[in-house]
Amino acid sequence: MKKVDTRGKKCPLPIIETRKALKESAPGGPFAVITDNSTSFSNISRFLKDNRIDYSCEENNGTWTFTVNSASGATELTEAENYCEIDPPANEGFAVVISSDEMGSGDPVLGKKLMKSFFIALSCMDIPPRLIVFYNAGVKLAVEEKELAEILSELEVKGTEILFCGTCTDWFKLQGKITVGSISDMFQIVNKLSGYRKVLQP
């Protein structure tokens, strides 16, 4: 695997080198980015997330190693000519909020069944959601329902951002058990959701 070692390099070289590696890497070929600077770690994470590029990161004694999956997300960042007109375009994208592990109220067993169907239907949409946010009991779905976790993985590969409320994953003792998406906080969740005109909540 190609390694981009940015240790000791000053801002913005780490981002420049990450971007270069994205442009040069073969689709599907992961590469590693290494940094020893916490600000660079934070900025590279942000850069990858905002461009919907799949990655994971490990920290070891003040050195962070990103494994970047260049097949995902926008490796071709939009060209200047393609940016939108003043009026919001029709395919601006929507977000989904999952606040429970049941869809609707009345019967919990039916509710869980409906939620499963909801995700199956979501995975069949031509234009998938840009963002899915899980909180409260919703976070349990990623762990308890294997089929659902697979659907979420597929959506993530297609470019959907998936966020789990950190307070909630701690509350339900799911730390380390969620293998898809990323753990977020209320600040980021509120911030991201408020940028969407359309938010779906089953």
Partner 1 sequence: MNNDLLQFTESGGCSAKIPPGKLDEILSAFPLPKDKNLLVDISTHDDAAVYRISDDLALVLTTDFFPPVCSDPYEFGQIAAANSISDVYAMGGKPALALNIMMFPSLKLPLSAYAEIMRGASDKAAEAGVMIIGGHTVEDEVPKFGLSVTGFVNPADLVTNTGARPGEVLVLTKAVGTGIVMAGHRAGLASDAELDEAKLSMKLLNMNGARLMSGYGVKGATDITGFGLAGHALKMARASGVTFNIRMKDIPLFSSVYRLADDGCLPGACFTNLSYCEKDIAFHGEDYNLKMIAFDAQTSGGLLLSVPGDKAEDLIAELHQSGELISCIIGEAEELKGKFINLYC
- Contact residues: partner 1, CB under 8 A: 10-13, 15-20, 39, 42-43, 46-47, 50-51, 74, 77-78, 80, 82-84, 86, 88-89, 92, 187, 190-191, 194-195
CB of 100 to partner 1, least distance (A): 26
Question: Quick check: 74 and 52 in contact, CB under 8 A?
Answer: yes
CB of 86 to partner 1, least distance (A): 6
Question: Quick check: 167 and 186 in contact, CB under 8 A?
Answer: yes
Question: Quick check: 159 and 52 in contact, CB under 8 A?
Answer: yes
Report the candidate in 198, 129, 125, 136 with the shortest Cα–Cα distance to residue 171: 136
CB of 163 to partner 1, least distance (A): 15
Nearer to partner 1, 67 or 188 (CB): 188
CB of 12 to partner 1, least distance (A): 5
What is the C-alpha separation between 41 and 62, in angstroms, rounded?
10
Residues in CB range of 9: below 8 A, 6 or more apart: 17
Nearer to partner 1, 149 or 193 (CB): 193
Nearer to partner 1, 78 or 201 (CB): 78
Report the candidate in 129, 177, 126, 121 with the shortest Cα–Cα distance to residue 155: 129
What is the C-alpha separation between 76 and 40, in angstroms, rounded?
22
**What 3-state class would DSSP assign to 59?**
strand
CB of 102 to partner 1, least distance (A): 31
Nearer to partner 1, 83 or 109 (CB): 83
